[in-house]
Amino acid sequence: MEVTQDSILTLELPYRERAEIRRTTFRGGDGPRMALVSGVHGDELEGLYVCHRLAAWLEEAERENPGMLRGSIELYPALNPVGVDSLQRFVPVFDSDLNRSFPGRADGLLPRRIAAAAMEHLSGADLVVDIHASNIFLREIPQIRINHEFTSTLVPLAERANVDVIWVHGSLTVLEATVAHSLNATGTPCLVVEMGVGMRVTPSFTEQLLIGVLHLAQRLGVIAPDLELEARRHDPILADDNNVSYLNAEQSGLFIPAVDHWRAVGSGQLLGRIVSPHSGDVLSEVRSPTSAVLFTLREYPVVYEGSLMARLVQT
């Protein structure tokens, strides 16, 4: 196994600093190519840790089973490096969302240049996994989000990814300027993972997704078919516009969650309370309207009337 590190884009910054988009490539042979992308949003760090864990897994697997890597695995832990360095969601200075800048332009401003370089290097991969980590307000259990246009190619892959939910979005929510849409529309399959919470790392989710990524790599022929992997323990439930419900705050206040196991909640189960910081009053009780998988839960406690507290998919 050959390990190389390089930069897919280097840009001089005004004060003699340089922005570099770094890539690590693990190459075992001429077999298929898989890429992990994260840090498109600079405040989402879960994917950076997945990259670390996958790199560590590959190094150990190669020691124990030399030659197990048949193709190559590329890691792009921080596609928005200045954002990750400065803890900003968007591309700093330009204040633009990198995930609304695709497919980009090689002669454009920084966000579009990053997008163009990413497209150039990711295109043609057998699979790209783009890992997002929600934002600081909401925590997500490991899930894959798929644009309905690409259901037939992506759902069979997503089913092997050891996630809890696959959410197929309808046409109204399609965002065309994302890395995933740009890749999928040009024939490179790209799965979008959402998990965890912004500015944090959730190791149990990392390990869950790592197992899924390894199963996908084996399925694609990137790693040897006879290599024994840890079993997948999560079978995803399929969500779409018909079975997803949103719980929004009826009152402003502090949202205090009441669930610790949130994969299966019962109809009427208490999910949390909105309380007053000024008195002992419980302003509102938040209950599940149905038997469901609670896949999004409010992490940031302050809510306003209408703030999203939870998303559920009916089981």
> Does residue 139 bind Zn ion (CB under 5 A)?
no
23 or 132: whose CB is closer to Zn ion? 132
72 or 143: whose CB is closer to Zn ion? 143
Q: Please count the residues of this chain forming the interface with Zn ion, following the rule CB under 5 A.
A: 3
What character string, x for contact with Zn ion (CB under 5 A) and - otherwise, covers 195-224? ------------------------------
80 or 188: whose CB is closer to Zn ion? 80
What are the DSSP calls for the chain, one per residue?
Answer: -EEEEEEEEEEE-TTS-EEEEEEEEEE-SSS-EEEEEE-SSTT--HHHHHHHHHHHHHHHHHHHSTT-B-SEEEEE--SSHHHHHTT-SSBTTTTB-GGGS-S--TTS-HHHHHHHHHHHHHTT-SEEEEEE---SSEEEEEEEEEEGGGHHHHHHHHTTS--SEEEEE-GGG--TTSHHHHHHHTT--EEEEEEE-TT---HHHHHHHHHHHHHHHHHHTSB-TTS--PPP---PEEE-TTTEEEEE-SS-EEEEE--S--SSB-TT-EEEEEE-SSSS-EEEEEE-SSSEEEEEEE-S-EE-TT-EEEEEEE-
Name the one range near Zn ion by CB under 5 A: 45-53, 126-134, 224-232, 262-270. Answer: 126-134
41 or 181: whose CB is closer to Zn ion? 41
Q: Shortest gap between Cβ of 221 and Zn ion (angstroms)?
A: 29
119 or 224: whose CB is closer to Zn ion? 119
Residue nearest to Zn ion (CB): 132
Name the one range near Zn ion by CB under 5 A: 39-47, 48-56, 252-260, 291-299. Answer: 39-47
Q: Shortest gap between Cβ of 119 and Zn ion (angstroms)?
A: 18
Which of 28, 35, 36, 41 is close enough to bind Zn ion by CB under 5 A? Answer: 41
Name the one range near Zn ion by CB under 5 A: 127-135, 185-193, 222-230, 239-247. Answer: 127-135
Q: Shortest gap between Cβ of 142 and Zn ion (angstroms)?
A: 14
Q: Shortest gap between Cβ of 41 and Zn ion (angstroms)?
A: 4
> Does residue 132 bind Zn ion (CB under 5 A)?
yes
Residues of this chain that bind Zn ion (CB under 5 A):
41, 44, 132
